[in-house]
């Protein structure tokens, strides 16, 4: 049987997601695949959904006269996509996101770029107030198809310890 599934009855299997607190080791790096190519629809939809209607994100004519020459992908979409791409490896068994820190946008992302992400376990500790849970901090890095880092952040999550929670039921 492959990793990521449990046998729920003879011959019947269920896919499981994420890792328990005990599965994380400081220094381990998880590469999140597949990559994700950003479309114009993604960018326009997210700008409208969040009411971030700055023309730098969807006005092609105005953008021709900027230093980039084309619209920029709206930054919160990049952060949301990075987080989503990392969930199965980092927070699939999380109870809560405790916060994002040191969020940086280091290079512009454009429609047509493909995003690849990876997360490194920076630290972990048992929760003092919740003995059935632990706290893990990751640094997630996003790169474009050329290998250029476009964004990074630290994210801290509260994760179930093995034997607790009902996420695999």
- CATH code of the domain containing 130: 3.10.129.10
Q: How many domains does the chain have?
A: 1
Contact in structure between 14 and 8 (CB atoms under 8 Å):
yes
Q: Is residue 158 over pLDDT 60?
A: yes
Quote the pTM value: 0.89
Does 2 map to a domain? no
Q: What is the pLDDT of residues 103-126, one digit of tens each?
A: 999 999 999 999 999 999 999 999
Residue 123 has a pLDDT of: 98
For the residues of 92-109, what is the DSSP string, one character each? TTEEEEEEEEEEEE-S--
For helices 40-49 and 75-90, angle between their N-to-C axes, nearest 10 degrees: 100
Q: Is residue 1 over pLDDT 60?
A: no
Residue 167 has a pLDDT of: 67
| Token pair listed for 5 | 């599934």
Does 145 map to a domain? yes
Burial class (CB in 10 A: 0-12, 13-18, 19+), 11: exposed
């Amino acid at each position: 049987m492959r990793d990521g599934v449990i046998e729920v009855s003879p011959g019947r299997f269920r896919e499981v997601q994420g890792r328990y607190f005990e599965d994380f080791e400081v220094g381990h790096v998880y590469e999140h695949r597949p990559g994700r190519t950003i479309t114009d629809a993604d960018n326009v939809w997210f700008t409208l959904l969040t009411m971030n209607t700055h023309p730098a994100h969807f006005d092609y004519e105005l953008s021709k006269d900027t230093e980039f020459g084309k619209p920029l992908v709206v930054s919160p979409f990049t952060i949301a996509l990075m987080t989503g791409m990392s969930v199965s490896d980092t927070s699939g068994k999380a109870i809560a996101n405790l916060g994002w820190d040191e969020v940086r946008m280091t290079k512009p992302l454009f429609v047509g770029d493909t995003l690849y992400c990876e997360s490194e376990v920076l630290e972990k500790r048992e929760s003092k107030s919740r003995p059935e849970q632990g706290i893990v901090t990751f640094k997630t890095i996003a790169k474009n198809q050329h290998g250029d880092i476009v964004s990074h952040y630290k994210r801290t999550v509260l994760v179930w310890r093995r034997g607790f929670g009902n996420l695999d039921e």
